[in-house]
């Protein structure tokens, strides 16, 4: 069976008013979600799908530079993941990260083998606990309400954002949420300090002050408290606070993650299958983390199809105890996030998400919605 066609479908899905104001890009209000969906077809008519990064970059530049027949001929049959990675790593160095193609190949491989991908790559677990990953810097009373609602929905963990211009407000939020949800709910806090050096920027002392507050509320982790290039600062911070430190969501490739592990700056590594090199690359990164006795808890702030693909990675590996479940009402709900899917990804009453069991990525696309929101 050989690859016969490659199609890039660009989608723009509206985000309800007043728009999403993510903490990681201060000042930007998102009114739509852009998605690149790659469709690979074999000469026997089997279809495989993959989506790009949460930034919605389209791959036109790559597909014009390296013509589609050349890509299809280069890979040949759908099992050639390492072959296409030779090409995709070069493409990622000069343009948008094109790992949606790798995801689409895995979708095909799973369908050919009639197995979900996680069973082909390790088959460790068939469900995982989900944490509610918020996005915005809301006032204290609203964050408390969101946290209470998340617990009511069944979540056993919630990730707050900390990047207000006044650190005392961040401190007030985490203390108030701990008081409101009690000691049995995991609280993670993300300062998003590795997102392109955007202000407000934290110093090592700021991170230490905040980290000591997290020690007191027994937070599960502190994410990106400093830029990952601040190796000395992160080492000092890890020596000063008890709370585990997480990071690495924007990295790309095994060498980047090797350096994070050798430098020992994070307790938890957060590679993302769309940013970091694809499903197989993240499987390799998970193996490296395992050898360093660390968890890989993938970054997954993305649409539902990417989350389903992330679940396939999580199901395969023995060192991942949480799924990042993006949920930031009223703008980023499963209905918006999972518009591409026939059935939104949901948590059960105990706070777990099942790894999709159908072949490939394991979820069905909603073609009525795809045609409705298609822009190319
Ligand atoms: Mg993060």
What pLDDT digit, counting tens, does each position of 298-350 carry? 999 999 999 999 999 999 999 999 999 999 999 999 999 999 999 999 999 99
CA of 224 to the centre of ligand 1 (A): 7
Q: Dihedral of CA 125/283/249/82: which sign?
A: negative
**pLDDT at position 66:** 82
119-354 fold: TIM Barrel (3.20.20)
Q: What are the residues whose beta carbons fall under 8 Å from the beta carbon of 274, sequence distance 6 or more?
A: 51, 52, 53, 54, 97, 99, 100, 103, 302, 306
Distance CA 173, CA 160 (A): 8
Alpha-carbon torsion, ordered 267, 273, 279, 280, to 10 deg: -60
Q: What are the residues whose beta carbons fall under 8 Å from the beta carbon of 208, sequence distance 6 or more?
A: 236, 237, 240, 241
Contact between 116 and 150 under an 8 Å Cβ cutoff? The reply is no
CA of 111 to the centre of ligand 1 (A): 32
Collapsing DSSP to helix, strand or coil, 11 comes out as strand
Distance CA 374, CA 376 (A): 6
**pLDDT at position 117:** 98
- In the chain, residues under CATH classification 3.30.390.10 are 3-114+366-373
**pLDDT at position 50:** 98
Q: Which two tokens stand for residue 298?
A: 């993938």
Using the predicted structure, report yes or no on whether residue 65 has a pLDDT greater than 90.
Answer: no
70 pLDDT tier (thresholds 50, 70, 90): confident
Collapsing DSSP to helix, strand or coil, 216 comes out as helix
Distances (CA, A) of 246 to 238, 252, 265: 11, 16, 9
pLDDT in tens, 247-289: 999 999 999 999 999 999 999 999 999 999 999 999 999 999 9
CA of 247 to the centre of ligand 1 (A): 7
Residues 58-82, mean pLDDT to the nearest whole number: 86
Residue listed under structure tokens 């050989």: 2
**pLDDT at position 228:** 92
pLDDT in tens, 128-172: 999 999 999 999 999 999 999 999 999 999 999 999 999 999 999
Q: Looking at domain 3-114+366-373, what is its CATH homologous superfamily?
A: Enolase-like, N-terminal domain (3.30.390.10)
CA of 190 to the centre of ligand 1 (A): 6
CA of 348 to the centre of ligand 1 (A): 24
Using the predicted structure, report yes or no on whether residue 197 has a pLDDT greater than 80.
Answer: no
CA of 298 to the centre of ligand 1 (A): 10
Give how far the C-alpha of residue 226 lies from the chain's centroid of Cα atoms, to the nearest Å.
Answer: 19
Q: What are the residues whose beta carbons fall under 8 Å from the beta carbon of 73, sequence distance 6 or more?
A: none
CA of 57 to the centre of ligand 1 (A): 19
Task: Locate all alpha helices (DSSP H) within the chain, ordered by sequence.
Answer: 60-65, 68-75, 81-94, 100-113, 117-120, 140-153, 167-181, 204-216, 231-240, 254-263, 279-291, 304-316, 334-337, 367-373
Collapsing DSSP to helix, strand or coil, 138 comes out as coil
Using the predicted structure, report yes or no on whether residue 73 has a pLDDT greater than 90.
Answer: no
Tally of CB atoms within 10 A around 4: 13
Q: What percent of the chain is modeled with pLDDT above 70? A: 100
Q: What are the residues whose beta carbons fall under 8 Å from the beta carbon of 254, sequence distance 6 or more?
A: 277, 281, 284, 285, 288
pLDDT in tens, 215-249: 999 999 999 999 999 999 999 999 999 999 999 99
Residue 55, phi then psi, degrees to nearest 5? -80, -10
CA of 300 to the centre of ligand 1 (A): 9
- In the chain, residues under CATH classification 3.20.20.120 are 119-354
**pLDDT at position 199:** 86
CA of 131 to the centre of ligand 1 (A): 13
Q: Are strands 127-133 and 352-354 parallel, antiparallel or unpaired?
A: antiparallel
Residue with the larger pLDDT of the pair 190 and 90: 190
Global pTM reads 0.97
Distance CA 358, CA 52 (A): 21
Question: Comparing 83-92, 101-110, 119-128, which segment has the lowest mean pLDDT?
Answer: 83-92
Distance CA 142, CA 211 (A): 23
CA of 70 to the centre of ligand 1 (A): 36
Tally of CB atoms within 10 A around 103: 27
Distance CA 376, CA 33 (A): 15
Distance CA 42, CA 177 (A): 51
């Amino acid at each position: 069976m050989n690859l016969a066609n490659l199609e890039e479908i660009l989608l723009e899905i509206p985000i309800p008013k007043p728009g999403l104001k993510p903490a990681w890009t201060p000042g930007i209000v998102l009114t739509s979600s852009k998605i690149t969906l790659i469709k690979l077809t074999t000469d026997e008519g089997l279809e495989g799908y993959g989506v790009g990064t949460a930034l919605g970059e389209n791959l036109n530049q790559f597909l014009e530079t390296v013509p589609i027949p050349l890509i299809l001929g280069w890979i040949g049959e759908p099992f050639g993941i390492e072959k296409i990675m030779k090409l995709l790593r070069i493409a990622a160095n000069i343009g948008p990260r094109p790992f949606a193609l790798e995801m689409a190949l895995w979708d095909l491989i799973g369908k050919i083998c009639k197995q979900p991908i996680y069973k082909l790559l390790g088959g460790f677990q068939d469900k995982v606990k989900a944490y509610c990953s918020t996005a915005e810097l809301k006032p204290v009373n609203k964050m408390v309400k969101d946290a209470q609602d998340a617990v009511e929905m069944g979540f056993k963990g919630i990730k707050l954002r900390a990047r207000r211009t006044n650190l005392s407000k961040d401190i007030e939020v985490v203390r108030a949420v701990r008081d409101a949800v009690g000691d049995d709910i995991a609280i993670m806090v993300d300062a998003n300090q590795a997102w392109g050096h955007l202000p407000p920027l934290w110093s090592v002392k700021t991170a230490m002050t905040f980290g000591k507050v997290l020690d007191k509320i027994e937070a599960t982790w502190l994410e990106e408290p400093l830029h990952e290039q601040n190796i000395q600062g992160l080492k000092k911070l890890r020596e000063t606070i008890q709370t585990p430190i997480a990071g690495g969501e924007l990295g790309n490739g095994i060498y980047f993650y090797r350096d994070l592990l050798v430098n020992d700056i994070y307790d938890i590594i957060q590679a993302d299958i769309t940013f970091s090199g694809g499903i197989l690359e993240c499987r390799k990164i998970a193996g490296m983390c395992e050898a360093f006795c660390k968890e890989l808890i993938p970054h997954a702030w993305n649409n539902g199809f990417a989350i389903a693909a992330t679940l396939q990675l999580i199901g395969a590996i023995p060192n991942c105890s949480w799924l990042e479940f993006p949920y930031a009402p009223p703008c980023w709900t499963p209905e918006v996030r999972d518009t591409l899917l026939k059935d939104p990804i949901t948590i059960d009453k105990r706070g777990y998400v099942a790894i999709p069991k159908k072949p490939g990525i394991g979820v069905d696309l909603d073609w009525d919605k795809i045609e409705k929101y298609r822009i190319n």
